[in-house]
Amino acid sequence: MSNWLIWLDKITFAREQYFDFTALWLVTGVGILLVLVLKRLLRPKHARDSRQRIIGPDWVWLLSLALAGLMIVALAGPKIDTFKMLQSKDNLDIIIAVDKSVSMAVRDVGQSRHEVMMREIKTLISSPAVKDGDRLTLFAFSEKSNWRMPLSDDRDEFLDKLMEIEHPKDRIYYDRSQLYTYFAGLLNHIPKALEMQDKLFLQGRFRGTVNWTAYPRVIFIFSDGESIDDSLNIPLAKFAKLDIKTYTIGIGTSRGGVISIRVPEENNPNQLEPPRQIQSKLDMKALDLIKQKTGGKSYVVNNSSSQVQSFLISALAENRKPTLTLVPTGEAENFWWDFLAIPSLVIVSLMAIKFIRS
């Protein structure tokens, strides 16, 4: 309904002075309605075999009033912007979700898992595999999911937002949500965020304020796979409805590693708890389930020299396909004849019916 209202708002008129007849039309309409109501209220009692019409020509007056209104609109000369269909480049919407939980600081792949992840993402974004016009968006998740930036073709902004995701060098985690990974939160968040942006940008396209084209989409999830999820069946069922292939990249080793951290006390943030030893190893169970339900693929990075770039580039290539989009031509098209044709057709039809009956 809102899109129709936006479309109507874009209609312009070449001869708006004809709307001066609207006042006369309204007065006439009120008069006709008043007469019809009084006619029914003051109508004499209907006797048997009487030739008095129950409805009479009432419908003719109402129809004439409606047709007169359409005539006024036609005289005003309505116009609306025209569009043309263009075939866009095979651009993509690339959705990247990165695990920022404590376990990603474990150093079992030469460097920390976080450092390897950041390096591979930066390499991909800076490569020719990401084409001009591709749109990027970033989610960071642990126990909670955060949308770091909406879809945008600004690579520098994406890389800036990516670099803001880091682990404290002193290993004191003031954000307690980083202690755990909760995939269900991410799987619920991504569809809601994308739906919200699509709705806003679609409205902007109708208003002519945003140049928005729907591109094929692909999702990459980088994580070590360790989570506190009991079951992903319900969130995955909703997530799979997006019909977006999701590629999961597991970072870590089956042997794993240990990291020592500290966190503030829950009731006294100024006081640190005793050091915790976090032992973590790669767990592909959740990541494999996500890719299976979405038709994607998985890849494991278990050392600092893993060739994950070929996997990422191949995923982008297999999801690219040309898309069609409507582009405004900047020219307005007259469609006053639509309003004129309707009353003309009705009048001719009534004349034909009258002729046939006579």
What six digits make up the tokens of 191?
Answer: 């569809």
**Is it the case that residue 299 has pLDDT exceeding 60?**
yes
Q: What 3-state DSSP class applies to 282?
A: coil
The phi and psi torsions of 215 (rounded to 5 degrees) equal: -105, 155
Confidence of residue 55 (pLDDT cuts 50, 70, 90): very low
177-220 confidence digits (pLDDT tens)? 999 999 999 999 999 999 999 888 777 655 555 567 789 999 99
Measuring CA to CA, which residue among 62, 82, 120, 58 is closest to residue 305?
Answer: 120
- Domains of the chain are 1-80 (no CATH), 87-326 (3.40.50.410)
99-148 confidence digits (pLDDT tens)? 999 999 999 998 999 999 999 999 999 999 999 999 999 999 999 999 99
Q: Find the helix or strand (DSSP H, E) in which 16 lies.
A: none
Region of residue 278 (phi > 0: left; psi between -120 and 50: alpha; otherwise: beta): beta
Contact present, 300 and 318 (Cβ < 8 Å): no
Place of tokens 């009258």: 354
Rg of the chain's alpha carbons, rounded to an integer?
Answer: 32
Q: Which residue has the higher pLDDT, 238 or 343?
A: 238
**Is it the case that residue 227 has pLDDT exceeding 80?**
yes
Contact present, 181 and 226 (Cβ < 8 Å): yes
CA-CA distance, 111 to 94, in Å (whole number)?
A: 26
Measuring CA to CA, which residue among 240, 13, 256 is closest to residue 21?
Answer: 13
pLDDT value of position 183: 96
Q: What is the DSSP letter of 90?
A: -
| b/e code 242-264 from CB counts within 10 Å (16+ = b) | bebbbbbbbbbbeebbebebebb
Q: Measured between alpha carbons, how far is residue 119 from residues 116, 125, 151, 162, 344 in Å?
A: 5, 10, 21, 11, 69
pLDDT value of position 54: 47
Measuring CA to CA, which residue among 230, 227, 229 is closest to residue 180?
Answer: 227
Region of residue 190 (phi > 0: left; psi between -120 and 50: alpha; otherwise: beta): alpha
pLDDT value of position 107: 94
Taking each helix axis from N to C end, the angle separating 155-163 and 113-125, rounded to the nearest 10 degrees, works out to 170
259-291 confidence digits (pLDDT tens)? 999 999 888 888 999 999 999 999 999 999 999
Average pLDDT, the chain: 83
Mean per-residue pLDDT, 327-336: 58
Cα four-point dihedral sign 341, 342, 345, 346: negative
What six digits make up the tokens of 189?
Answer: 């968040």
Q: Which residue has the higher pLDDT, 239 or 337?
A: 239
pLDDT value of position 149: 94
